[in-house]
Amino acid sequence: MEWILEAKGVNKVFGSKRNTFKALNDIDLHISKGEFVGVMGPSGAGKSSLLNVLSSIEPITSGTIRIGGTELTKMKEDQLREFRRDQMGFIFQDYNLLDTLTVAENIMLPLTFTKTPKDEIQEKVAELTDRFGIQAILEKYPYEISGGQQQRTAVCRAIIGRPSILFADEPTGALDSKSAHHLLQTLNKLNEEMQVTILMVTHDPYAASFCSRVVFIKDGSLYTEIHRGEQTRKQLFQQILKILSTIGGGQYDVV
């Protein structure tokens, strides 16, 4: 099996001396090529800390992390910046689009720091925006388009460089139910049709039910995981609810 992400014995401690907090405790996690993995758990369980260290946004205290066989924990900051640009894609809850750039310019931004020819960049923008139905808004600015269109723009920007792995941090958190459903279908399509490997942190069992595997974290440690397998999305949703009711996670309506 080809591992895209390997994390072994990962610990993350905040603070120093006697005033410390252990956010992650001896995490072992493997993600194979083409997986769509969700990370869930109660508030404060360590979900965001896990995503941040796996994506090298924050350093780990101890352990090892490899993406595509490259060990991140031995890289310097300038090397990490280049590696993130070339090998990782990011989707955030607040989109992180630049209001001074058009939709097209936001999407092509990651490639403007590379030696990719201009014609090739334009071809990729055209292909992605056609796939996600936003080709009509290319010359508009982020503040001129809807939240759903902003999120689709962010998705196009995240994958234009064909990253090894796509990190999504609560991507539906700021969307209405219709836009959230559309985004989740988009991620599912990316995963199934383009074999994009995705790691998504979410508090929402409905969002997690689109994943092929859901990992649960509690008090900074991996608690359990479930695989969708041959289950329907509704059956997976029910399993997710049962585990959340055990570790804490709120009440939700059945899909």
Range of the domain at 164: 3-248
The reply to whether 227 falls in a domain is: yes
The reply to whether 150 falls in a domain is: yes
The reply to whether 253 falls in a domain is: no
pLDDT of the chain, 255 residues: tens digit per residue: 679 999 999 999 998 878 889 999 999 999 999 999 999 999 889 999 999 999 999 999 999 999 999 999 889 999 998 899 889 999 988 888 999 999 999 999 999 888 889 999 999 999 999 988 899 999 999 999 988 899 889 999 999 998 999 999 998 887 788 888 888 998 998 899 888 999 999 999 999 999 999 999 999 999 999 999 999 999 999 999 999 999 976 544 433
Residue-by-residue DSSP string for 10-57? EEEEEEETTEEEEEEEEEEEEEETT-EEEEE-STTSSHHHHHHHHTTS
- The CATH number of the domain holding residue 38 is 3.40.50.300
The reply to whether 254 falls in a domain is: no
Owner of token pair 């750039």: 101
Report the alpha-carbon distance of residue 236 to residue 252 in Å, rounded.
Answer: 14
Say how many domains are in the chain: 1
The reply to whether 72 falls in a domain is: yes
Report the alpha-carbon distance of residue 80 to residue 57 in Å, rounded.
Answer: 9
